[in-house]
Amino acid sequence: MLIGTDPATFLDNEPDLAGQVLEWADVRRRTDRFKARHRAEPFVRVLEARHNDVWRLQARRLLGASEHIAAGHPKVCRLAAILVTGGLASADDIANLDDPPAMTRAQIQSTLLGDSDARRTSHNEQALIICDTCTLMYPLPPSGEPVAGRCNHCGGDLLDGQERASIPTPAQRLHSIESRLRQMEVQCGRSTVR
Ligand SMILES: [Zn+2]
């Protein structure tokens, strides 16, 4: 993400930075870890600053996607789960916010669980599996089959329904992102004033 998806473009557009990274890779092969880390400091600072810039843009974009947030769409949950750890989303993940959400989370949920399963949800979460990213509930696989695989709607890991309490809700993740963004903006403001 930081150097783009095409290394050749990175080399063309940012010859200095690319040169430093390539030179460092060579140093890293020939020297010990401590020296290599020391040599990396100048461009690591540049990459970190850039990482933070992109993170702030992505966080603002996500927090501004009120229609998607209101729909609770799994794609939004996926973005929130990436950004809340300080990571950066791919261009494709961000592009998911361009079009209005086709379905709400509630609509998707009701297609996943038939009436009988939906009735069980509130009574017996052990009978269901849950996505650790968008918290969609899926019916248990036929008896004997292990609970494994990925959520069809966001790519999250599927866990036993009993794990539900340990999974942060998408709203909690969005809230953490908002706090972190506000904190970063305060810090940026200070460094600009200085
Ligand atoms: Zn999911």
Kindly tell me if the per-residue pLDDT of 85 is higher than 80. yes
Q: Is pTM, for the whole model, over 0.85?
A: no
Q: How far, in Å, is the centroid of ligand 1 from the Cα of 194?
A: 44
Phi, psi of 137 (to 5 degrees): -100, 135
Distance 155 CA to ligand 1 centre (A): 6
How many whole angstroms from 19 Cα to the centroid of ligand 1?
Answer: 40
- pLDDT band at residue 12 using 50, 70 and 90 as cut-offs: confident
Per DSSP (E only), the strands in the chain are 128-131, 137-139, 158-160
Helices and strands counted in the chain (H then E):
9, 3
Least confident of 37-41, 70-74, 79-83, 113-117: 113-117
Domain boundaries, the chain: 1-64, 112-170
Give the per-residue pLDDT at 39: 83
Q: How far is the CA of 136 from the centre of ligand 1 (A)?
A: 6
Tokens of 183: 């904190």
Cα of 186 vs centre of ligand 1, distance in Å, is 33
**CB 155, CB 77: distance < 8 Å:** no
For 5, phi then psi, to 5°, come to -95, -10
Compute the distance from residue 60 Cα to the ligand 1 centre, in Å.
Answer: 22
